[in-house]
Amino acid sequence: MVKTEAVGNGGRDGLNTLFASLANSNRRHLLGILYDQAPESLTRRDLASQLVHLGTPRDQESNETVQQALVTLHHTHLPELEVAGLLDHDPNRGTVTITDHTAFQDTGIVDVISAEANADSESLDALFAALADARRRTILDSLSHQFHPIHIETLAREIYAKEHGICEADVPTEEVEQVLVGLHHVHLPKLSEAGLIGYDADEQKVAYEGHSKLRVPWMHSVLEPNFRASLTGESETQEMGEIEGREEVISYGQSLGERAEEELFCMFTHKDMLEAGCFARIMDAARQGVDVYIGTYDPTVREYVRENAPEIVLWEPKTDWLNLPVEESRVGRLLLADREAVMLGTLKEKTDDGFPEEKAIIGEGTDNTLVVMIRQMLSPYLEQIDEQTEDIESHLPF
């Protein structure tokens, strides 16, 4: 998998610092205030007063409480955020200004520093604390590509192979043992406490669960503006892109699931196309009010969706659902988000690990050639789904 580690000039350490600085509701609140105020500066006292307002009614605010908040700002919050490159602090003038850090181009970051995110503060603290480690991000990325819980020894071997760019079969046994120690005592408990994974210590198995605010690019160690380029190796301005490799295809598909705001149309022609990370994002989208349509043959998948997300519209695809001349390949997955971003993935022969090779073409923008073509080809199906929705929903266990 292609990884882009750059965040400013900090690489992995920069990302660790970034996520660690976000693992505090007060700091996220401060960033939200500065983001809304940008490009203007605020004084330290203004920010301290804002912090006091979080836990104290305005009529109970005193000079003493503001002074205590100023001390906390000076010794804790401002240094943490400044080291992360998220703000500039001028101690001589006593002013603070937000920077042009690429994190503020990421819609997920902007979302979690907003005032609306305060209600989920403890959960977000745990999420970012868990993400503030490169190995844990790799663990989450790997697990989100699995269909079922896997043994932690399998995970340890996969993690070491990813981090060192080698085949899993070439990972020395002694290295697996060392990774296992860290998984047992540090990483899996931390991820489990954050609700990001399910960890059965007795069975020695682990599975992806995710978090509604967790973004796919964060697990790839890149922020949103770089994500497509990190997978395709092409510039963002190109009309269409091409993705090689199963994990890369899955990751981009998951990112489409989490960016949908109004409608998400999904098609999976093979029963093993809906990985845990895909499920999580599709169901999150439905729960957030996105109209979700899933086409699949697999009765197990259908039953699972009915039980866990009955608001999703299920339908059974026809064998000729998409008549595309793909030489020596068959269509495996299709995702169309808000009718303006699309991924069409194809399957080839199975590899040694038992999974088929995957390749995808992607397009973004309402006028994008691929998007327009897919919209036109799918319009009869979407119309049929709209007509059948009332009948389908009558069979769902509301």
Do 57 and 108 belong to one domain?
yes
Residue 53 has pLDDT above 60, yes or no: yes
**pLDDT tens digits, residue range 160-219?**
999 999 999 899 999 999 999 999 999 999 999 999 999 998 999 999 999 999 999 999
Return the exposure string of 233-270: e unless at least 16 CB atoms fall within 10 Å of the residue's CB, then b. Answer: eeeeeeeebebeebbbbbbbbbbbbbbbeebbbbbbbe
**pLDDT tens digits, residue range 173-185?**
999 999 999 999 9
Do 308 and 164 belong to one domain?
no
What confidence category does residue 65 fall into, taking pLDDT thresholds of 50, 70 and 90? confident
How far apart, in whole angstroms, are the C-alpha atoms of residue 252 and residue 228? 8
For 121, the token pair is 């503060």
Domain range enclosing 180: 145-208
Do 88 and 22 belong to one domain?
yes
Give the residue from 390, 196, 233, 384 showing the smallest Cα distance to 295: 384
- Residue 276: its pLDDT value, please? 86
97 within a domain of the structure (yes/no): yes
* Residue 9 burial class via C-beta count within 10 angstroms: exposed 0-12, middle 13-18, buried 19 and up: exposed
Out of 262-271, 317-326, 380-389, least confident range: 317-326
Strand, coil or helix: what is 55? helix
β-strands 87-90, 150-151 pairing: unpaired
Q: Tell me the average pLDDT across 253-271.
A: 89
pTM for the model stands at 0.85
- % of the chain at pLDDT higher than 70: 85
Do 196 and 254 belong to one domain?
no
Do 387 and 272 belong to one domain?
yes
Do 368 and 261 belong to one domain?
yes
As for how many domains the chain has, the answer is 3
Residue 280 has pLDDT above 80, yes or no: yes
Do 47 and 167 belong to one domain?
no
What confidence category does residue 8 fall into, taking pLDDT thresholds of 50, 70 and 90? very low
How far apart, in whole angstroms, are the C-alpha atoms of residue 296 and residue 279? 13
Do 261 and 358 belong to one domain?
yes
Strand, coil or helix: what is 369? helix
Do 375 and 244 belong to one domain?
yes
Q: Tell me the average pLDDT across 140-167.
A: 94
Give the contacts of 287 (CB within 8 A, at least 6 positions apart).
Answer: 212, 309, 311
